[in-house]
């Protein structure tokens, strides 16, 4: 959420930012409703001052004069009650409109309508930039992860769909070992960055989703319970809610969390896309990096680069080819100022697939969540927030299996995962 005073003073800038994000917002209506809100409050303040003045008069008046003032105060109270009710109605619309105002994208964010317009800023390893070459070379035609994992008993997709429905899956045997190995390596790698470890809830109240910006716009992609809670698609929601409605000590910053949680997404906007395998499943697990820092743009930029590099380093440990893209305006969410996507090479499809994102929001989320701190000058501020996917499973298995496959259908285990898996080959002699 942006400050209403900032919105009014920078309305053309915000309109331009909304256009860059391809987000429709009625700022003119918001300003009109805000004018009405301020007018009603001014009228109420004036009536309250008059009520206080009349109350003091009553103390010194007698008989008929006193009765006359009391009668006038009854009319005044009635007018105030009507004004309060009118203000409530106006505030409902005002708050709804405020929740639709997008954050302003950074100047470095490229223009574009969707993910096809994102710009590559890095490719690893660098040799994969050779024209016509592919990041992972095979002397045979590589298979897709569904065929490989099914043949090796690592996953069962047919029974997954039978039991869990569309996009359901079972991980089995070495598939489970490999997924758990990724979790253990992630725990070691990211905790070494000085992060506080947390296991966070996936069943979360509506307020945290509103605060992080996943509601009201993204409701169709969330699972909702009969009691009004929602199942989160990322540990970011619960982790950001951890300090909701609290005032923090500025000496805490930067606050760095590494959060683990089950995640759930309906993938409502992905009908017909990636319907096979582990790319777009409804239920998965994820390590998430979340940071709160001082309300300084330069600090947000520094932490953004640091978080993204943490994940790049993890992928490099696994020796999986990847590239990093900066997201265009049309591929940014409501609150994001800037975002990177890291995409891993998938040999079976001969393309890169997103494995995670890194975003910063300035004070967009903390203002909505009412997380504050007092700066060195004694001023109350909203800290800046950032989040980044550390690693999701089982999606990471797609690139591991496909990049490490061998001609006989076996899979080499990445060297850094061997101690956790307990073997160097899946489907071979080990």
Q: State the catalytic residues.
A: 265, 280, 354, 357, 395
Q: Which of 69, 123, 29, 35 is nearest to 316 (CA)?
A: 123
Would you give the DSSP letter of residue 405? Answer: B
Q: Are 119 and 325 in contact, with CB atoms under 8 Å apart?
A: yes
The CB-based long-range contact list for 347-353 (8 Å cut-off, 24+ gap) reads 347/134, 347/136, 347/138, 347/142, 347/402, 347/403, 347/405, 348/142, 348/143, 348/144, 348/145, 348/402, 349/144, 350/134, 352/322, 352/323, 353/279, 353/395, 353/398, 353/399
Structure tokens at 249: 């000590």
- Phi and psi at residue 5, to the nearest 5°: -65, -40
Altogether, the residues listed in the chain come to a count of 430
Q: Which of 390, 389, 391, 371 is nearest to 381 (CA)?
A: 371
Do the Cβ atoms of 271 and 166 come closer than 8 Å?
no
| Four-point Cα dihedral 353, 214, 276, 178, nearest 10 | 70
């Amino acid at each position: 959420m942006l400050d209403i005073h900032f919105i009014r003073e920078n309305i053309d800038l915000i309109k331009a930012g909304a256009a860059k994000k391809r987000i429709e917002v009625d700022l003119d209506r918001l300003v009109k409703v805000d004018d009405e809100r301020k007018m009603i409050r001014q009228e109420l303040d004036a009536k309250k001052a008059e009520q206080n003045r009349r109350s003091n008069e009553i103390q010194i008046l007698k008989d008929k004069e006193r009765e006359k003032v009391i009668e006038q105060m009854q009319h005044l109270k009635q007018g105030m009650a009507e004004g309060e009710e009118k203000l409530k109605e106006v505030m409902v619309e005002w708050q709804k409109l405020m929740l639709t105002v997008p954050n302003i994208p950074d100047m470095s964010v490229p223009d574009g309508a969707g993910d096809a317009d994102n710009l590559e800023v890095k490719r690893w390893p660098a040799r994969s930039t050779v024209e016509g070459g592919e990041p992972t070379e095979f002397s045979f035609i590589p298979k897709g992860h569904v065929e490989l994992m099914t043949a090796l008993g690592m996953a069962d997709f047919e029974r997954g769909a039978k039991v869990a429905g569309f996009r359901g899956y079972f991980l089995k045997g070495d598939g489970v070992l490999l997924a758990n190995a990724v979790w253990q390596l992630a725990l070691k790698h990211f905790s070494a960055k000085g992060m506080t470890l947390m296991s966070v809830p996936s069943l979360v109240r509506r307020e945290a989703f509103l605060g992080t910006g996943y509601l009201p716009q993204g409701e169709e992609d969330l699972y909702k319970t009969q009691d009004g809670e929602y199942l989160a698609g990322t540990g970011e929601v619960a982790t950001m809610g951890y300090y909701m409605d609290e005032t923090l000590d500025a000496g805490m910053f930067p606050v760095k969390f590494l959060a683990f949680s089950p995640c759930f997404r309906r993938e409502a906007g992905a009908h017909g896309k990636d319907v096979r395998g582990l790319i777009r499943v409804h239920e998965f697990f994820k390590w998430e990096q979340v940071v709160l820092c001082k309300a300084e743009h330069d600090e947000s930029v520094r932490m953004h680069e640091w978080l993204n590099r943490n994940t790049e380093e993890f992928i490099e440990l696994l020796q999986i080819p990847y590239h990093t893209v900066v997201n265009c305006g049309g591929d940014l969410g409501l609150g994001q100022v800037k975002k990177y996507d890291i995409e891993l090479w998938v040999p079976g499809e001969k393309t890169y697939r997103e494995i995670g994102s890194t975003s910063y929001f300035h004070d967009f989320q903390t203002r909505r969540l009412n997380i504050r701190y007092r700066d060195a000058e004694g001023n109350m501020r909203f800290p800046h927030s950032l989040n980044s996917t550390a690693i999701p499973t089982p999606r990471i298995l797609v690139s591991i299996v496909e990049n490490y496959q061998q001609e006989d259908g076996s899979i080499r285990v990445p060297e850094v995962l061997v101690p956790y898996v307990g073997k160097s080959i899946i489907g071979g002699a080990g």
